[in-house]
Amino acid sequence: MSEHVNLAILGGGCAGLSLARALVDEAFSERVIIIEPRRSYRHDRTWCFWAEAAHAHSGTVSKCWQRWQVSTADQVIDHKGSRLSYQQIRSDDFYQACLATIADAPNFELRQGLHAETVSDHGNQVMVETEAGAISADFVIDTRPRPPHTDIAALWQVFSGAEVETEQPCFDPSTAGLMQNMTSDEGGLKFTYILPTSAHQALVQTTRFALTRCPPDRLDDEFRSDLNAMINGPVTLHRWERGCLPMGQMELWTGESPRIMRAGQAAGALRASSGYGFLRIQAWAEAVAWDLVRERTLVNHPPGSRIEQKMDAIFLAALTRSPQAASGWFASLADRLSADEFGRFMSQSPSLDLWLKVISALPKAPFIRALFNGFPEIDRANHRVAL
C-alpha cells in the first residue's frame, strides 16, 4: 500500500511554499505533503514588485525604493512613486517565513531531498512516483519547472549578475535602476538592473529580452564588462543571480485532469509583457487556498482579462517583430506614464485606461501590424516563435 495524502504539492519553491502557507492560514485541516528536491534552502534570488506600503507580505520586505530610473544613452527618466514603491523580498527571508509556518502545522509535511517523477490520475486518486516509492493523493498541484524543450515563449528575459560590494561609494541607495543604459538591436533589448542597498552594495544584473532562450551564464562576461564600465576601484562579487524567464509563454500546460493542476512559472504565472510574477503567484495561492478549503476544487492561475491577454500578445508580437526599437519604446513608456502607472503596467494587471495610455505612448504602426498579422508561428525545432 502506498502512502496517502489529501494534497501533494510538487515543488517547494515560490508557488509551492506560498500555497502551503496560504493553506495553513486558511486552517486547511487535511494532510498535505510538499515534495522538494532541495535538501536545504539558501538565498538564491530576490523578488521585487510594485506595491503599496501595507500588504500581506510587507513583513518580509527587506528594502523599498520610492524612486526608480529608466535610461538610454541620451535620456534619463526619473520616477517617484506616490502610492506605489518598488519593494524587494529576499528569498531566504521568504523561504524561512514559509518553512516556519509549515513547521507549526502538524498536518503539513515538507519532504526534502525527494523528486516527483511520473504523475498519473487513477480516477479517484493520483499516483506520484518518487525515487523513494509512490505517494497517492486526492489532489496534486504541480509547480515543477517545465522541461526546457517544451517551454516556448515570445521572448526570453535572460539575466546574469551578482550582489556586489565596492570600496568607493558607487550607488545611490534611494533609487532603483530598473532599466539603465537601455540599447536595442536585431537581437533585442539590453539593459542593466541595479538594486542598491547602500552606497557600497547593490544587486547588479545585465539583462536581455532575447528572441531565443539561452543559458544565462552566457551573459557573465557581458555583466563583468558592464560592471567594470560602471565602477571605479575594487569590487567584490558575492552571490551570483541568473535566470531565463519566459515572456508570453505558449502552449501552457493546464491540469491533465480535475485532480491535477499545474501552477507557478511553469503554468504561465509570469506577467507576459514584463516577466514579473511574485505578486501574481501570491494572489493565485490565496485563491486556491480559499477554494480548496470551502469548495474542495482547484483554481488555475487566472489568465488575466481578455483585454490583458490580447494587449500583451500584441505588445509582445510588436516587440518580437521590431526588436531594434525596444529601448525607444520602453523609454517612451517610462516617459509618458506616471511612476505608479509604470509600476502597475510592469507588475500588475493593467486596466483598460492604462492600456490606452500605453498605446498612446507607443508608435502606432508596429502595433497595428501586430494586431492584423496576429502572433508569429511557433517554431518547434527551436522552441521559439518564428517571425
Ligand X SMILES: Cc1cc2nc3c(=O)[nH]c(=O)nc-3n(C[C@H](O)[C@H](O)[C@H](O)COP(=O)(O)OP(=O)(O)OC[C@H]3O[C@@H](n4cnc5c(N)ncnc54)[C@H](O)[C@@H]3O)c2cc1C
* Binding flags for ligand X, 108-127, as an x/- string (CB under 6 A): -------xx-----------
Of 155 and 362, the one with the shorter C-beta distance to ligand X is 155
Taking CB under 6 A as the binding criterion, the range among 44-52, 289-297, 326-334, 357-365 that sits at the site for ligand X is 44-52
- Residue 10 engages ligand X in binding (rule: CB under 6 A): yes
Nearest CA among 245, 385, 250 for reference residue 319: 385
Q: Which of residues 134-173 bind ligand X (CB under 6 A)?
A: 143-145
Taking CB under 6 A as the binding criterion, the range among 55-63, 66-74, 275-283, 326-334 that sits at the site for ligand X is 275-283
Q: Which of residues 247-266 bind ligand X (CB under 6 A)?
A: 264-266
Contacts 24+ apart (CB under 8 A), 110-114: 110/12, 110/20, 110/34, 110/36, 111/33, 111/34, 111/35, 111/36, 112/12, 112/36, 112/37, 112/38, 112/39, 112/40, 113/37, 113/38, 113/39, 114/35, 114/36, 114/37
Of 23 and 270, the one with the shorter C-beta distance to ligand X is 270
C-alpha 127: how far from chain center: 29
- CA–CA gap between residue 94 and residue 60 (Å, rounded): 6
Of 28 and 193, the one with the shorter C-beta distance to ligand X is 193
* Pairing outcome for strands 32-36 and 3-10: parallel
Collapsing DSSP states into helix, strand and coil, what is residue 223? helix
- Residue 276 engages ligand X in binding (rule: CB under 6 A): yes
Specify burial of residue 365 (Cβ count, 10 A radius: 0-12, 13-18, 19+).
exposed
- Residue 355 engages ligand X in binding (rule: CB under 6 A): no
- Residue 49 engages ligand X in binding (rule: CB under 6 A): yes
Among 3, 26, 38, 371, binds ligand X (CB under 6 A): 38
- Least separation in angstroms between CB 234 and ligand X: 26
* Pairing outcome for strands 201-210 and 377-379: unpaired
Return the residue matching grid coordinates 552571490.
239
Query: Sign (positive/negative) of CA torsion 143, 149, 155, 159?
Result: positive
* Binding flags for ligand X, 60-79, as an x/- string (CB under 6 A): --------------------
- Least separation in angstroms between CB 374 and ligand X: 27
Q: How many CB atoms lie within 10 A of CB 124?
A: 8
Nearest CA among 197, 27, 2 for reference residue 106: 27
- Least separation in angstroms between CB 343 and ligand X: 12
Q: For the chain, how big is the Rg over CA atoms in Å?
A: 21
- CA–CA gap between residue 387 and residue 323 (Å, rounded): 11
Q: Which of residues 292-331 bind ligand X (CB under 6 A)?
A: none
* Binding flags for ligand X, 11-30, as an x/- string (CB under 6 A): xxxxxx--------------
Taking CB under 6 A as the binding criterion, the range among 40-48, 60-68, 92-100, 294-302 that sits at the site for ligand X is 40-48
Binders of ligand X: how many residues, by CB under 6 A? 33
DSSP 146: P
- Least separation in angstroms between CB 62 and ligand X: 12
- Residue 218 engages ligand X in binding (rule: CB under 6 A): no
Collapsing DSSP states into helix, strand and coil, what is residue 76? strand
Taking CB under 6 A as the binding criterion, the range among 6-14, 166-174, 223-231, 374-382 that sits at the site for ligand X is 6-14
Catalog residues that contact ligand X under the rule CB under 6 A: 10-16, 35-38, 45-49, 115-116, 143-145, 241, 243, 245, 264-266, 269-270, 276-278, 281
